[in-house]
Amino acid sequence: MTDTSRIRNFSIIAHIDHGKSTLADRMLERTGALEEREMRDQVLDTMDLERERGITIKAQSVRLDYTGPSGNYVLNLIDTPGHVDFTYEVSRSLAACEGAVLLVDAAQGVEAQTLANAYLAIESGLEIIPVINKVDLPAAEPDRVAAELVSIIGGDPADVIRISAKTGDGVDELLAAIVEVLPAPEGAVDDQLRALVFDSFYDTYRGVVCYVRVQSGRLATGDGLRFMATGEEPAADEVGVLRPGAEPVAALGPGEVGYLITGIKEIDRIRVGDTVTRAADPATEPLPGYREPKPMVFSGLFPTDGDDFERLREALEKLRLNDTALVFEPETSRALGFGFRCGFLGLLHMEIVRERLEREYDLELVATAPSVAYDVGLVGGGTLQIRSPQDLPEPTARTEIREPIVRVMIITPAEFTGTVMELLQEHRGVMGEMTYLSPERVELVYRVPLAEIVFGFFDRLKSRTRGYASLDYEPEDDFIPADLARVDILLNGVPVDAFSAIVHKTKGYDYGRKLVSKLRAIIPRQMFDVPIQAAIGSRVIARETVKARRKDVIAKCYGGDVTRKRKLLEKQKEGKKRMKMLGQVEVPQEAFISVLQIDED
Amino acid sequence: MKIDSPDSVALADSAAGQTAAYIHIPFCRKICPYCDFAVVAGTDLADRYVAALLAEIESADPFAEPLTSVAFGGGTPTALGTDALGILLEAVESRFGFDPEVEVSLEANPEDISQATALALQEAGFGRISLGVQSFDDSVLASLGRAHSAAQAIDATRVVRSVFDSVSVDLMFGTPGEDLGSWRDSVTMALELGVDHLSTYSLTVERGTPLSRAVAAGAPAPDPDLQADQWLIAAELAQGAGLVRYETSNHARPGHAAIYNLVTWGQGEYAAFGNGAHRHRDGLRSWNVRRLERYIERIENGQSPVSGEERLGPWEREVERVLLGLRRAAGVLAGVAGERLLKSERGSAVVDAGILEVDDDRLRIARPLLGDGVSRALLALTPGDC
């Protein structure tokens, strides 16, 4: 165990691409945790997808032995997931720290996501060290960014540390500041054990591995434990630290960060945010802040090939081993057959899961338009929560529909303020606050129905601000009544459930018209005319027709063309296989995606 | 002798048992932007090529029966001199033997045809000329990148008409900018010039051609609906002039159906010579190297010019028989694959849509413009015994 005065626990808060992973690598290198030659770029981001997208999905932590001007210290760097969908997980990682490095790109400045996490850190009482990265870039404007940082967290621009994680300049100064500025953890070793589970992952051989931060007491190998939220009572099979390789220790004391293996094999029996105590001498109060993971966005996932249903189930089960936030239940669609209704923390989470299913499990999927959960007040009392437009009760059977609301934070260059406000208004946003972070940059806070931002809102924000605005959102607790209706799409007279959506009544007509015209462009001509209609209830609000195909024949078929023609037709036939048959109509996969892009034009 | 109608079952089925030969002449004055055949601009390698062709012809095995059809295609066969063409034809005859009724056909471009050339070709033994006219409209010819004018096309057609017993003209429809009127005029002109045979092809954007690059860059692509109308106009005009449509893209007067093509659609066997040439012999489809220089080098080095082959299993062959046979207006015996097609879901869909017709034991395409839907339904069948 380490003397608490010699421990510093911290996170790095940064926007995607602002250099968090590079800085982490540099710190590992400077503290000798890894030899320079062992350094793989960005050691902490282990999943392929993370490397590609440059984001951190699962948090990790590493223990660094640092020798500074005032002696030897243990620095625990606790990585935080870098995206809005994982706010809760970020908050748990931050709860394991006493301080945070707020890392901002010298050219880009502060982004909404950084700001949201910085506020989260400040609210959790963390000490903040403002740092500007990439000062070596030609486009760097460290003075402007320093002023911006100070306007958010206070202090003196001169105290903002300027570094280049890439070249290593300023990293030593930063390490020294971490020891000097950040408080040491508190907590008595004689108190009852209270350790925060701030992350967990599934290992094929060891079962669930928890990342823990001990607040008080002592977590020793062999202890009989209790997880206070779930009531699980396993033994501590192994306790250790990460340097970054796992290294077993006898015990972790107050302020220490490490891992815990208990023999539990099912990830959903361990909850991030839970408090570990000793079964024999339990703490009376758990650590604050625990929350059940709550899916916010829902989408139906269907295998293109119906035979893949079982494979999809197995793949989802495997993903869930490491992703407690992913929920799914079987769903049957008239149009798409058997699949799963899946719940996600947010849009990125949804995209990541879909990509992993396709990439790692080689599944071809059709995803239906994402939707949110609605509370439906029923005639005769009671409330029904629906996660799919299909489940919406008839208008005569319901009294109202309530929808989830999120608090949206947007940082935009001041010149786009009007544009962004307009966009938010179009999406039924209600203005909260407007703050000038600097003369050039504005922060807007709105309350917006979640359903309004699940359909490509982010893309529209980016395109209207030429990529300069950034967005973050967090769910509010209340569901608010709204004037909503379901728009159905009929193909050749038959409703296609996968295209149904619940939309605000003022937008129903527009939505129907756009989707119908988009589908007309995407659905190839068939052997017969295919009418496409949008309807609210029995009222048709838009209609177009895919005219029957008139010419579908190769012009020449002579001696030299026989093999080629056969191969060409074979290829076309393969193409047809990737089509979904909806009744007699062949519909390409992209038709289902088109629902997501409905507002882009 | 009774002359069969071009679309008769008897003619179609008898051609299946005949044998043919194809000689590829890859040279062109310039390459048309839509063309994806094995062609080269200029005739620099003509002498070495002719020598190589002769060597390939001389080393080929003859068929059991003499040939009923020989086709010189390209490229532009008339890019070679008439002497060379004559020598090649002689070589084919001495190697394979000719049936007394043999069809000896040559593709020619209008700009190469003069009275003297026509007479020399006739003298050399060619009996049927297929003229690559494409259009009788100068603006369409310009957008197709053709080397001849409408006036040249008219002159050339008149010349060959006056010299040869069997004259065919190729026309192409759907060139962006060509309207129904222009197309109607081209077809009418060909018919008025008294052709025996008319091939009408829709302009197709083939991968890798300058045309496909232009279309990818935003140039107008052929409009399939307009092409459908144009196809119908051609069929109607040709019929009015006494020509019978006997295949998706081909019309002929009785006695003038192209035998070489009927052999192909009957899954018959044919020899083939030259770069990129495809043959079908002893149930094996094989093809030569496509690049002219490689072809010549291989022959000169005593190597085989064959670069690929495909031997189909019994089921695939049966499917191919129906696939090819359905190109003909005479249709095809249903057989094992045809019966299976009719029982399949997609097969009944094309029957229901009026695309495929059943007449006793024969299948026919009633709407040739949608024929590929039937082909795909055939290829989608699960392989079975036959």
pLDDT of residue A45: 46
* A554 contacts chain B (CB < 8 A): yes
Q: Do B371 and A552 touch (CB under 8 A)?
A: yes
**Which residues of B fall within a CB distance of 8 Å from A576?**
376, 380
B-chain residue closest to A527, CA distance: B353
More confident residue, A495 or A79: A495
B375 closest CB neighbour out of A556, A560, A569? A569
| pLDDT band at B2; cut points 50, 70, 90 | low
Residues B329 and B247 sit within 8 Å (Cβ to Cβ): yes
Q: Do B369 and A551 touch (CB under 8 A)?
A: yes
Pairing label, strands A337-344, A327-333: antiparallel
Residues A200 and A209 sit within 8 Å (Cβ to Cβ): yes
The interface residues of chain A toward chain B in range 495-534, judged by CB-CB distance below 8 A, are 527-528
Q: Do A527 and B350 touch (CB under 8 A)?
A: yes
In total, chain A counts a number of residues equal to 601
A-chain residue closest to B268, CA distance: A559
Residues B253 and B243 sit within 8 Å (Cβ to Cβ): yes
SS3 A22: helix
**Which residues of A fall within a CB distance of 8 Å from B228?**
550-551
pLDDT digits (tens, 9 = 90+) for B103-132: 999 999 999 999 999 999 999 999 999 999
Residues B199 and B167 sit within 8 Å (Cβ to Cβ): no
A-chain residue closest to B328, CA distance: A557
d(CA B253, CA B244): 6
**Which residues of B fall within a CB distance of 8 Å from A552?**
369-373
Give ∠ CA B207-B210-B215 in degrees, rounded to 5: 75
The DSSP code sequence of A219-264 is EETT-BEEETTT----B--EEEEESSSEEEESEE-TT-EEEEE-S-
* A545 contacts chain B (CB < 8 A): no
**Which residues of A fall within a CB distance of 8 Å from B227?**
551
pLDDT of residue A597: 65
B277 closest CB neighbour out of A551, A560, A566? A560
pLDDT of residue A305: 82
* A41 contacts chain B (CB < 8 A): no
d(CA B322, CA A343): 50
d(CA B254, CA B268): 21
Q: Do B287 and A562 touch (CB under 8 A)?
A: no
Give the residue from A365, A377, A268 showing the smallest Cα distance to A320.
A268
pLDDT of residue A84: 53
SS3 B361: coil
Closest CA–CA distance from residue B274 to any residue of chain A (Å)? 12
Which of B23, B321, B344, B370 is the best mutation test for A, with the most CBs of A within 10 A? B370
B376 closest CB neighbour out of A528, A556, A572? A572
A140-148 contact pairs (CB < 8 A, 24+): A140/A106, A140/A107, A141/A106, A141/A107, A141/A109, A142/A106, A144/A109, A144/A438, A144/A440, A145/A104, A145/A105, A145/A106, A145/A109, A145/A110, A147/A438, A148/A104, A148/A109, A148/A110, A148/A437, A148/A438, A148/A441
Q: Which residues have a Cβ under 8 Å from the Cβ of B114 and sit 6 or more positions away?
A: B159
Residues B74 and B263 sit within 8 Å (Cβ to Cβ): no
Please list the residues that pair with A331 across neighbouring strands: A339
Q: Is omega for the bond preceding A467 within 30 degrees of 0, making it cis?
A: no
pLDDT of residue A50: 45
ipTM: 0.89
A-chain residue closest to B327, CA distance: A557
B201 closest CB neighbour out of A549, A556, A569? A556
**Which residues of A fall within a CB distance of 8 Å from B26?**
none
Q: Do B228 and A584 touch (CB under 8 A)?
A: no
pTM > 0.90: no
Beta strands, E only, A306-396: 327-333, 337-344, 365-367, 371-372, 374-378, 383-386
Q: Do B224 and A549 touch (CB under 8 A)?
A: yes
> Which secondary-structure segment (H or E) carries B362?
strand B362-365
Residue A184: HSE in the Cβ half-sphere, 13 Å Cα cutoff: 12
| pLDDT band at A52; cut points 50, 70, 90 | very low
| pLDDT band at A90; cut points 50, 70, 90 | confident
* A581 contacts chain B (CB < 8 A): no
Paired tokens of A493:
């007279």
The DSSP code for A135 is T
pLDDT over threshold 60, residue A311:
yes
B-chain residue closest to A571, CA distance: B376
Residues A145 and A139 sit within 8 Å (Cβ to Cβ): no
A555 closest CB neighbour out of B22, B204, B323? B204
Furthest C-alpha separation in chain A: 91
pLDDT of residue A58: 47
pLDDT over threshold 50, residue A511:
yes
pLDDT digits (tens, 9 = 90+) for B129-150: 999 999 999 999 999 999 999 9
d(CA A194, CA A217): 6
d(CA B167, CA B158): 10
More confident residue, A115 or A547: A547
Q: Do B280 and A562 touch (CB under 8 A)?
A: yes
pLDDT digits (tens, 9 = 90+) for A325-374: 888 999 988 778 899 999 998 877 888 898 889 888 989 888 888 889 99
d(CA B200, CA B187): 9
Region for B213 from its dihedrals, namely left if φ exceeds 0, alpha if ψ lies in -120 to 50, beta otherwise: alpha
Q: Percent of chain B beyond pLDDT 90?
A: 93
**Which residues of B fall within a CB distance of 8 Å from A560?**
22, 37, 272, 276-278, 287
A558 closest CB neighbour out of B231, B264, B287? B264
Closest CA–CA distance from residue A88 to any residue of chain B (Å)? 48
d(CA A110, CA A127): 18
Residue type, A441: R
The mean pLDDT value for A472-481 works out to: 86
Pairing label, strands A371-372, A297-303: antiparallel
SS3 B356: strand
Q: Do B227 and A551 touch (CB under 8 A)?
A: yes
Please report, for residues A202, A274, A276, A280, the alpha-carbon distance to residue A232 in angstroms, rounded to integers and kept in the order given.
Answer: 17, 11, 10, 13
Phi, then psi, of A97 in degrees rounded to 5: -115, 160
Q: Do B248 and A572 touch (CB under 8 A)?
A: no
* A574 contacts chain B (CB < 8 A): no
Q: Do B278 and A527 touch (CB under 8 A)?
A: no
Tell me which range, A48-62, A186-200, A556-570, is most confidently predicted by mean pLDDT.
Answer: A186-200
pLDDT of residue A83: 55
pLDDT over threshold 60, residue A49:
no
pLDDT digits (tens, 9 = 90+) for A249-303: 999 999 999 999 998 988 778 888 899 999 999 999 999 877 777 788 899 999 9
Least confident of A538-547, A570-579, B114-123, B335-344: A570-579
Please report, for residues A93, A207, A218, B111, B225, the alpha-carbon distance to residue A211 in angstroms, rounded to integers and kept in the order given.
Answer: 10, 13, 15, 83, 65
Q: Do A552 and B278 touch (CB under 8 A)?
A: no
The strands making up A194-203's β-sheet, listed across from edge to edge, are A225-227, A275-278, A194-203, A207-216, A257-261, A238-242, A246-249
Please report, for residues A99, A142, A159, A170, the alpha-carbon distance to residue A109 in angstroms, rounded to integers and kept in the order given.
Answer: 21, 9, 17, 18
**Which residues of B fall within a CB distance of 8 Å from A584?**
349
